[in-house]
Amino acid sequence: MPDAHQGDPRRRVPRTDAILADPLVAEAISRHGRDRVKQAVGTAQQQVRDGALTPDDVVNATLAALPLHRSSLTPVLNATGVVIHTNVGRAPLSTAAVEAIADAAGYVDVELDLETGQRSRRGRGLLAALLRRVPDAEAALVVNNGAAALVLATTALAAGKEVVVSRGEMVEIGDGFRLPDLIASTGARLREVGTTNRTTIADYEDALGTDTGCILKVHPSNFRVEGFTAQVPVEQLASLGPPVVHDIGSGLLSPDPLLPDEPDATTALRAGAAVVTASGDKLLGGPQAGILLGRADEVERIRRHPLARAVRADKLALAALEATVTGPPAPVTAYLHADPDQLRTRCERLAAATPPELNATIIQTHGVVGGGGAPGLTLPSWAVSLPEDCAARLRTQPRPVLARVDRGRCLVDLRCIPPDADHLVAEAISQLP
């Protein structure tokens, strides 16, 4: 209530610097930028002058006028042309997956059979859906991420024993995450065979013995060795006896003709792999998750290992992954297969809507899979080319647009922008001059 002694509240408009010093407002500046917050303060001050707001409510009105983010994670428009971009959260989820997360957010029957009232297998609907998509797998298990799937499989099958792996597959996957270190952490010993560029079946044979826990084949996702090379296909490794764990990484469940060099779970299992491990949020286009598919006895051994509990998948991830596996193609799939002619048309429209001061042009370019997938593959694409300094300014818009800087130009590639969001990119660009 306005205090009668202090007179007309319109005369008591709080000062801008006092409002900006409020801790909540200061926090909002760090998220939304000073200009945006000052604009909201100005609007609230005007409401006090108009008598529509009491002076005490200016801070709340300022915060309420800012775009709603329920967490500090800011939605970003990915105009880099990189489909699976780890820095912006890898795979964007499908609408079905987002709805599944909302459905699972409250109490759900994740480990309960509503018919019998008994406890049931966690995420059983998802496991059944995975087996329908990959009939060559007898059993499935889902854990927290791909690295956890690999650690769990090698721990359960080879702790205290040897994991036999080719020197050509001793890779670093990214962000300092190195396969040899990961295996060492499991209590299994790494038995390296062959050389960086060539490993033969005889190299594996020489290393096998009573100490062998499993043979590990790792897809060296993010690099290629070219020239004088040799590696042993899964078919031959499977004939050696010990179980073969194949870390395919990308999460393709069956072959994709666009990605001929990417391994997939169906092909690996048909070739004789005992267990395949993969990520949920790479080419599969789902949430962060680690997927294990394979023979019933091996998957059961892995599932029963005590470590399995420590890498258990969250119910929200289980829900999103099931919706991804059972639903229409995920956004990642649509972006990978985007038609270059349609991308060109969209770029032309965007360039036409761009303020003339920016001298926008259209150029032919290429997107990439990213996320350590298909390193040699480029996706023919088009982009709107802007002055280089636009990149940083687009990134700091209220709805940030992440463009790519290439040879002194800021390239806006629409491949990974949902077509119904082109206007948001146009809006951000229109703020630049």
Ligand X SMILES: *Cc1c(COP(=O)(O)O)cnc(C)c1O
Site residues (CB under 6 A) for ligand X?
145-147, 150, 173, 218-219, 221, 247, 249, 279, 290, 372
Q: How far is the CB of 247 from ligand X (least distance, A)?
A: 5
Residue 280 Cβ, how far from ligand X at the closest point, in Å?
A: 7
- Nearer Cβ to ligand X (179/338): 179
Distances, alpha carbon 312 to alpha carbons 109, 157, 181, 290, in Å: 16, 18, 22, 10
CB of 289 or CB of 360, closer to ligand X: 289
In the complex, least distance from residue 153 CB atom to ligand X, rounded to whole angstroms: 11
Q: Taking the complex as a whole, how short is the minimal distance between the CB of residue 262 and ligand X, in angstroms?
A: 10
State which residue, 147 or 428, has the beta carbon closest to ligand X.
Answer: 147
| CB-nearer residue toward ligand X: 272 or 290 | 290
Q: How far is the CB of 290 from ligand X (least distance, A)?
A: 6
Output the smallest distance, CB 73 to ligand X, in A: 18
**Judged by CB, which is closer to ligand X: 130, or 425?**
130
Beta carbons of 285 and 94 less than 8 angstroms apart? yes
Minimum distance from residue 287 beta carbon to ligand X (Å): 10
Nearest distance from C-beta of residue 144 to ligand X, angstroms:
8
User: Whole-angstrom Cα distance, residue 89 to residue 74?
Assistant: 11
Instruction: Indicate the residue among 40 and 148 with the shorter CB distance to ligand X.
Output: 148
Instruction: Provide, rounded to whole angstroms, the least separation between the CB of residue 86 and ligand X.
Output: 8
- Which residue, 137 or 150, has its beta carbon nearer to ligand X? 150
User: Which residue(s) pair with 212 in the sheet?
Assistant: 162
Nearer Cβ to ligand X (221/381):
221
Structure tokens at 403: 């463009």
Euclidean distance between CA atoms 267 and 160, whole angstroms: 30
Give whichever of 150 and 152 is closer to ligand X, judged by the CB atom. 150
Distance CA 58, CA 424 (A): 29
For the bound state, the minimum distance from the C-beta of residue 169 to ligand X, rounded and expressed in Å, comes to: 9
Minimum distance between the CB of residue 152 and ligand X, rounded to whole angstroms? 12
What is the three-state SS of the chain?
Answer: CCCHHHCCHHHHCCCHHHHHCCHHHHHHHHHHCHHHHHHHHHHHHHHHHCCCCCHHHHHHHHHHHCCCCCCCCCCCEECCCEEEEHHHCECCCCHHHHHHHHHHCCCCCCCECCCCCCECCCCHHHHHHHHHHCCCCCEEEEECCHHHHHHHHHHHHHCCCEEEEEHHHCCEEECCEEHHHHHHCCCCEEEEECCCCECCHHHHHHHCCCCEEEEEEECCCCCCCCCCCECCCHHHHHCCCCCEEEEEECCCCCCCCCCCCCCCHHHHHHCCCCEEEEECCCCCCCCCCEEEEECHHHHHHHHHCCHHHHCECCHHHHHHHHHHHHCCCCHHHHHHCCCHHHHHHHHHHHHHCCCHHHCCEEEEEEEEEECCEEEEEEEEEEEEEEECCHHHHHHCCCCCEECEEECCEEEEECCCCCHHHHHHHHHHHHCCC
Nearer to ligand X, 81 or 249 (CB): 249
Residue 254's CB: how many other CB atoms inside 10 A? 11
Nearer to ligand X (CB atom), residue 41 or residue 289: 289
